[in-house]
Amino acid sequence: MPAEFPVPLRYGIIGVGMMGLEHLRNLHALPEVVVTAVADPHPRSRERAASESQRIGAPLPLIFESTADLLSSGLCDVLVVATPNMTHAAVLDEILDTEIPVLVEKPLCTTVDDCAKVVARAEHRSGLVWVGLEYRYMPPVAALIDAVASGAVGQVRMVAVREHRFPFLSKVDDWNRFNHNTGGTLVEKCCHFFDLMTLLAGGLPVRVLASGAQDVNHLDERYRGEVPDIIDNALVVVEYDNGVRASLDLCMFAEGSVNQEELSVVGDEGKVEAFLPSGLVRTGRRSSGGTGVVETVVTDRRVAHEGYHHGSSYLEHLALLQAVRAGGPAAVTARDGLLSVALGVAAQRSIAEQRSVDVAEVLRG
């Protein structure tokens, strides 16, 4: 039987920097939901959470300095973790002592070891653990996923992702400028894309080959005397056990682009593509050639708050809410989070050591 939850459902947000406030706005737009508590050790972040609640007309949540204080308050039925990457393992260690359902922002953790510990604990608790890999919920990407699942391209043979975008934004204490905090760009940013690749490939990843560097961004920046070491461009190839090959083309100094992300899946019968932010989805069959390509701009009428990610965070929360109410499993599991991080770690290692890396090697720790 599903657990009984009150109406409205009470949410707590741990970490109210940029993404924590984005979650606050999305949750305020959801029906029968209220954010009752937030926690953050940084005074300025706590102040912003209070002012943002007032700005959007949401009830003022009770504000705590620590995760422990929020958990002991008894005010929350569901939790959202949006703290810096390197803190996820410690924050989850506290949360997983409870049975409260939790959505944790990507990446699940910054190391495979820490991800594996979360997976082991998540599988032995009643409250779900959902990883915030929200790219799955962007309407054009969701349409591409559905098209592939319905057989529109036949047997999948190749998956390609291109992200050409702006540099990393500033975060609290500039934590996202360093690999030891983020896990590296290919973990921090690209776990989204590795998750999509694995979902679309329909197999298990076995090998990763990558080339990348820090060539343009952050080179003249200094933080406490240290120079940022996060890469800003890379090419990555992933091979799967079913013969599918996937590629990532990442450039973070490409503001002069019409679309930030371009995804394509090619099978033995056809091809489907999705473009963001234009929302265009393009589908074609080999038998029809280029003249038979169908183009559609895809939106989702359910989106009540578009936010930073084309409505995907709202749709993700809608799916999470339904799963919590129904007592269902997480749609994006801790194991999904682990595998997406493992591919990022393998790609970072491939660049550092100038070799291909077996995924099994990374999963062994």
Q: What is the pLDDT of residues 314-353, one digit of tens each?
A: 999 999 999 999 999 999 999 999 999 999 999 999 999 9
pTM score of the predicted model = 0.96
pLDDT recorded at residue 290: 87
| 121: three-class secondary structure by DSSP | helix
* Confidence tier at 4 by pLDDT (50, 70, 90): confident
pLDDT recorded at residue 3: 66
Q: Residue 70 in contact with residue 12, Cβ under 8 Å?
A: yes
Q: Residue 178 in contact with residue 172, Cβ under 8 Å?
A: no
| CA dihedral of residues 153, 154, 158, 162 (deg, nearest 10) | 20
What stretches of the chain adopt beta strand conformation (E)?
A: 9-14, 33-39, 62-64, 78-81, 102-105, 129-132, 156-164, 205-213, 233-240, 245-251, 261-267, 270-276, 280-285, 294-297, 357-358
Residue 1 pLDDT exceeds 70: no
Q: Could you give phi then psi for residue 46, rounded to 5 degrees?
A: -65, -40
Q: Tell me the pLDDT tens digit for each residue of 6-18.
A: 889 999 999 999 9
Average pLDDT over residues 257-268: 98
Residue 358 pLDDT exceeds 90: yes
Residue 365 pLDDT exceeds 80: no
Task: Choose which CATH entry (3.40.50.1220, 3.40.50.720, 3.10.20.30, 3.40.50.300) describes domain 9-135+315-334.
Answer: 3.40.50.720
Residue 246 pLDDT exceeds 60: yes
What mean pLDDT value characterizes the chain?
A: 96
Residue 297 pLDDT exceeds 50: yes
pLDDT recorded at residue 31: 93
Q: Tell me the pLDDT tens digit for each residue of 95-127.
A: 999 999 999 999 999 999 999 999 999 999 999
Percentage of the chain beyond pLDDT 90 is: 95
* Dihedral (CA of 161, 166, 169, 175) sign: positive
Gyration radius of the chain's alpha carbons: 20
Q: Tell me the pLDDT tens digit for each residue of 49-74.
A: 999 999 999 999 999 999 999 999 99
Q: Tell me the pLDDT tens digit for each residue of 140-192.
A: 999 999 999 999 999 999 999 999 999 999 888 889 999 999 999 999 999 99
Round to whole Å and give the CA distance between 152 and 295. 14
Round to whole Å and give the CA distance between 317 and 105. 12
* Confidence tier at 2 by pLDDT (50, 70, 90): low
pLDDT recorded at residue 6: 82
Q: Residue 103 in contact with residue 81, Cβ under 8 Å?
A: yes
pLDDT recorded at residue 172: 84
Q: Residue 247 in contact with residue 160, Cβ under 8 Å?
A: yes
pLDDT recorded at residue 173: 85
| Residue 25: how many other CB atoms lie within 10 Å | 19
Average pLDDT over residues 21-31: 97
Average pLDDT over residues 284-308: 95
Going from N- to C-terminal start, the domains of the chain cover 9-135+315-334, 136-302+340-363
Residue 5 pLDDT exceeds 90: no
Domain 136-302+340-363 sits in CATH at 3.30.360.10
Average pLDDT over residues 205-217: 98
Establish whether domains 9-135+315-334 and 136-302+340-363 are of one fold: no
